[in-house]
Chains A and B, each alone.
Chain A
Amino acid sequence: MTIDIGKLTIKKAAEHLKNGDFSAVDLASAYLENIKQKNGEIFAYLEVFDDVLEQAKHADEMLATGKGTTMTGIPLAIKDNMLITGKESTSASKILKGHIGTYDATVIKKLRDEGAVFLGRANMDEFAMGASTETSAYGKTKNPIDTSRVPGGSSGGAAAAVAGEMALAALGSDTGGSIRQPAAFCGIVGMKPTYGAVSRFGLMAMASSLDQIGPLARTVEDAEIVFNAIRGYDKNDSTSMPDTLLLEREVKKGLRIGVPRDFLSMEGLDKRVLENFNGKLEDLKKKGYEIVDVSLPYLKYALATYYIIMPAEASSNLARFDGVRYGLSVKGNDVSDSYKKTRAQGFGEEVRRRILLGTYVLSAGYADAFYNKAIQAQKIIRKDFERIFKEVDLVATPTTPSPAFKFGEKTDDPVQMYLADIFTVSANIAGLPGISVPSGFVSEGGKELPLGFQLMSPHFCESMLFRAALDAELLKQ
């Protein structure tokens, strides 16, 4: 049969592969062809792998011998900060140009064991620092919905690959919204699991107490399939949690969704976004959900808290890039000068800024006023959520304060760029799972720009989160 990739989902593709309607090689070829047509303009991929068809052949063998799973033969885009044996991985940074992975990240190994097909490595903000993919050292990714706009970030290439039908799904990483925000901007589903649910072994660390790997997909169902394929305990990640915590929990009818109204009255929230959000809540009410206002008074400090903790950890994590063991190496007068020149030339402006910022907030004399205060704020925010989750099952917000913005619109003012994460960071600060589902569109300049609806749940309640997300997704605006 002819493959209509515009209508495919993982679920449907897996059925077709199982029934022999088409092979994994046919499927991979269809995606390679579409990538060839589109990637020149969209630039979702930094590199398309040269062994895609070999991988697909292997998947076909698995299917033929009855060893296939739902993920077998499914073509995926992988964010450029996850290691794949023998493949380049650069975190879209010049400092890692030519760096070759010496082992598979745990998430890659799990998917490889199931016979998933890795199409290529997706563009991103350099070291995942950004909300527009404009900080990539290798070029800008365009939003497939409107090419004058950013795809969001930092997993912008992954989101554009899925939205542009250049992959069935993708793996991204989310430290402050880097999966959910680009998913919202590109009109797809993006999910950040509970901290500790998915191993980060083989993911280049940005802020270790916040980073999580998660799926970007076309449907909630697909996102759940990928999540279930990558989750699980891993001894190689010391923050990995036992599988027993992730066991299916009973999902009751008539869930209560809390809405932090006071937080939504903030300045800078696009009126159309709020209207769209309220419409979605009304629809959910009709579906039997109870919607109540909740007060999360410290949520307004979440973004400031995030922009202290994240650079603090990043400044320490990125100390390893010194030009000695891998990547760019610039020779200076002595060892210290070599480090300074390598790091000045290898890192882009945003990365350098966050390292300096992190160094500042941790330095003697300022740690009490910044880092220690942020840790206190984090604890208060976590307590706020714990209290709220005694009253409600889920918390809902818009995913972003506006639809996708234009290139260059926020690049000169870092704080404006950081504000794009205002609704997503709190899930990372509190370690909660969060998901963004498409929530209709706003018209601008003759284009229909997608918006996202975000749900968050208590730790390890992913099954409930997906169930509610499915209901939110099915309701048309």
Chain B
Amino acid sequence: MISQQDIKDLAELARIEVKEEDLESVRAKMDGVLQYVSEVQQITATDTDILFVPALHNVLREDVEAEMSGIHTEGILKNTPEKDGGYVKVRKIL
């Protein structure tokens, strides 16, 4: 069974604030889902090609300019909550 502390840890990892008063309802509903999906653990595969979980890899395009430089700049910046000139403004990290 998943605990309230687990929810706190997951919320930290997922960068989603969960209020103290909501912890129990979040925990209870998520526990219900986890009980249900635990069904997959009944599967006992023996075939090696089934047991093998491939290491996933990213499919990336070549690192070249995919579009003409600057054609989307204005549109993209319009969506930005905080900007400074042609830059996206971010919070201090260090």
A residues contacting B by CB (< 8 A) are 98-100, 102-103, 238, 298, 300-301, 304-305, 307-308, 315, 319, 322-329, 334-336, 338-341, 343-344, 347, 352-353, 355-357, 359-361, 363, 369-370, 372-377, 379-380, 383, 413-415, 418
Q: How far, in angstroms, from A458 to B17 measured CA to CA in the complex? A: 44
| B8, chain A: closest CB distance, angstroms | 11
Q: How far, in angstroms, from A305 to B37 measured CA to CA in the complex? A: 7
B34, B40, B80, B81: the one contacting A360 at CB < 8 Å is B34
B residues contacting A by CB (< 8 A) are 2, 6-7, 10-11, 13-19, 26, 29-30, 32-34, 36-43, 45, 49-51, 53, 59, 72, 75-76, 78-82, 88, 90-93
Q: Which residues of B contact A375 (CB under 8 A)?
A: 53
Q: Which residues of A contact B38 (CB under 8 A)?
A: 304, 369-370
Contact B78 A100 (CB under 8 A): yes
Q: Which residues of B contact A326 (CB under 8 A)?
A: 79-81
Contact B15 A322 (CB under 8 A): yes
Q: How far, in angstroms, from A335 to B78 measured CA to CA in the complex? A: 22
Q: Which residues of A contact B53 (CB under 8 A)?
A: 372, 375-376
Contact B10 A359 (CB under 8 A): yes
With A102-B72, A376-B53, A380-B45 already in contact, 18 other A-B pairs whose C-beta atoms are closer than 8 Å: A99-B79, A100-B78, A301-B42, A324-B81, A325-B80, A327-B79, A335-B92, A336-B15, A338-B91, A340-B11, A343-B16, A344-B18, A355-B14, A369-B38, A377-B43, A414-B32, A415-B36, A418-B36
B16, B39, B40: the one contacting A344 at CB < 8 Å is B16
Q: Which residues of A contact B13 (CB under 8 A)?
A: 359, 363
| B92, chain A: closest CB distance, angstroms | 7
Contact B7 A356 (CB under 8 A): yes
B15, B17, B33, B43: the one contacting A357 at CB < 8 Å is B33
Contact A360 B2 (CB under 8 A): yes
| B29, chain A: closest CB distance, angstroms | 6
Q: Which residues of B contact A335 (CB under 8 A)?
A: 90-93
Contact B75 A102 (CB under 8 A): yes
The 9 closest A-B pairs by CB, nearest first: A102-B75, A329-B81, A344-B17, A238-B59, A335-B91, A326-B79, A340-B17, A304-B39, A339-B15
A100, A341, A355: the one contacting B17 at CB < 8 Å is A341
Give the one of A100, A319, A325 with max B CB within 10 A.
A325
Q: Which residues of B contact A370 (CB under 8 A)?
A: 37-38, 40
Q: How far, in angstroms, from A414 to B34 measured CA to CA in the complex? A: 11
Contact A100 B50 (CB under 8 A): no
B14, B39, B50, B75: the one contacting A379 at CB < 8 Å is B50
Q: Which residues of A contact B40 (CB under 8 A)?
A: 301, 304-305, 308, 370, 373-374, 376-377
Contact B14 A359 (CB under 8 A): yes
Contact A355 B72 (CB under 8 A): no
| A363, chain B: closest CB distance, angstroms | 7
Q: How far, in angstroms, from A369 to B18 measured CA to CA in the complex? A: 25
| A70, chain B: closest CB distance, angstroms | 31
Q: How far, in angstroms, from A415 to B39 measured CA to CA in the complex? A: 13
Contact A324 B43 (CB under 8 A): no
- A356-B17 contact given A103-B72, A373-B43, CB 8 Å threshold: no
Q: How far, in angstroms, from A319 to B79 measured CA to CA in the complex? A: 17
Q: Which residues of B contact A327 (CB under 8 A)?
A: 79, 81
Contact A307 B33 (CB under 8 A): yes
Q: List 9 A-B contacts (CB under 8 A).
A: A301-B42, A307-B33, A324-B88, A329-B82, A335-B91, A360-B6, A376-B43, A376-B53, A413-B29
Q: How far, in angstroms, from A357 to B76 measured CA to CA in the complex? A: 31
- A376-B15 contact given A238-B59, A329-B81, CB 8 Å threshold: no
Contact A353 B14 (CB under 8 A): no
Contact A334 B37 (CB under 8 A): no
B42, B49, B51, B79: the one contacting A102 at CB < 8 Å is B79
- A100-B91 contact given A413-B32, A414-B29, CB 8 Å threshold: no
Contact A415 B33 (CB under 8 A): yes
Q: Which residues of A contact B90 (CB under 8 A)?
A: 324, 335
Q: How far, in angstroms, from A315 to B18 measured CA to CA in the complex? A: 16
| A304, chain B: closest CB distance, angstroms | 4
Contact B81 A373 (CB under 8 A): no
In the complex, which residue of chain B has the Cβ closest to the Cβ of A367?
Answer: B53
Q: Which residues of A contact B92 (CB under 8 A)?
A: 334-335
Q: How far, in angstroms, from A176 to B14 measured CA to CA in the complex? A: 23
| A327, chain B: closest CB distance, angstroms | 7
| A443, chain B: closest CB distance, angstroms | 32
Q: Which residues of B contact A415 (CB under 8 A)?
A: 32-33, 36
Contact A325 B88 (CB under 8 A): yes
A99, A300, A380: the one contacting B50 at CB < 8 Å is A380
Q: Which residues of B contact A341 (CB under 8 A)?
A: 17
B43, B51, B82: the one contacting A301 at CB < 8 Å is B43
Q: How far, in angstroms, from A414 to B11 measured CA to CA in the complex? A: 19
| A433, chain B: closest CB distance, angstroms | 23
Q: Which residues of A contact B80 (CB under 8 A)?
A: 324-326
